[in-house]
Amino acid sequence: MPIAHIKTPIGVIILSFDDNFNLIKITKSDDREFLDGGEYPESIKILVDFLNAYFSGKPLRINYPLKLDNISEFDKKVLNLISSIPFGQTVSYKWVAEKLKTSPRAVGQALKRNPFPLLIPCHRIIKSDGNLGGYSLGLDVKKWLLEYEKSILYKLPSRKT
């Protein structure tokens, strides 16, 4: 199983792929040491370059093949909906639940199972009262990502007054 390690401001991110280079999951390593994966095949390099661009302040969208075989139909609906939430914006678990005619708790559980945090931006979902809720990469990472995205939006030429 091919794996790529990327050093980012939130720590070392591990990208796991199947033998066809479809992304299986994204995780964060608690290990402080950066394990350089060396040269990656072009299909993996595309995703590595995208994530490096994201962490360099470029609010890009990417269409990369994700392995969705082991994800329930409900979870796919939740992940599809949150994929449309723009960079730097947030919505509540309740908002997602109302759109899908389900409960905020069910939405939270589906997001907990999101194997692709960063690409499917579950960090952009917060509680109705403004609190963060949970995040598979850690609440400190969720807070950092939200603040980071807002700061990047503020710096974009179209946002300056």
35 and 92, same domain (yes or no): no
Q: Is position 68 within any domain?
A: no
Q: H-helix or E-strand containing 91? A: strand 91-92
**Burial (0-12, 13-18, 19+ Cβ within 10 Å), 114:** buried
> In whole angstroms, what is the distance from residue 8 CA to residue 131 CA?
25
The runs of H, that is alpha helices, within the chain are 42-54, 73-82, 93-100, 104-112, 139-155
At 62 the pLDDT is 77
Residue positions counted in the chain: 161
Quick one: which of 77, 86, 6, 75 has its CA closest to 38? 6
The token pair that represents 85 in the structure block: 């939430």
Is 29 assigned a catalytic role? no
Options 78, 85, 122, 145, the catalytic residue: 122
> Do residues 21 and 78 both lie within one domain?
no
| pLDDT for position 160 | 44
Domain match, 79 and 147 both: yes
Domain of 36, in residue numbers: 3-54
Instruction: Give the pLDDT of residue 39.
Output: 75
User: Same domain, yes or no, for 93 and 148?
Assistant: yes
pLDDT tens over the chain, length 161 residues: 788 888 899 999 999 999 888 899 999 987 655 555 567 888 888 899 899 999 998 877 777 888 888 899 999 999 999 999 998 899 999 999 999 999 999 999 999 999 999 999 999 999 999 999 999 999 999 999 999 999 987 765 554 44
